[in-house]
């Protein structure tokens, strides 16, 4: 499992530099998390001003 970036993403890009494993990249309509790389540390979710990143369910 991995954290998920929802459609609330405003493409601010705040999450990308805080990810320790560089799992976040810019997609066509929002930033996306590579589930194979994400370690579920939660740093991106804490950093997101739009509250667009959710933990695994």
User: Which residues form the interface with ligand SF4 (CB under 6 A)?
Assistant: 2-3, 18-19, 21, 23-24, 33, 38-44
Q: How far is the CB of 33 from ligand SF4 (least distance, A)?
A: 4
CA dihedral 15, 17, 22, 28 (to 10 degrees): 50
Which residue's CB is nearer to ligand SF4, number 19 or number 52? 19
CB nearer to ligand SF4: pick between 5 and 29: 5
In this structure, what are the phi and psi dihedrals at residue 47, rounded to the nearest 5 degrees?
-85, -20
Nearest to 53 by CA among 14, 21, 27: 14
**Nearer CB in complex with ligand SF4: 13/42:** 42
């Amino acid at each position: 499992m991995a954290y998920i970036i929802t459609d609330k993403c405003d493409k601010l890009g705040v999450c990308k530099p805080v990810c320790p494993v560089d799992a976040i990249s810019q997609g066509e309509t929002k930033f996306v998390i590579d589930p194979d790389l994400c370690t579920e540390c939660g740093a991106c979710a804490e950093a997101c001003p739009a509250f667009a990143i959710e933990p695994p369910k």
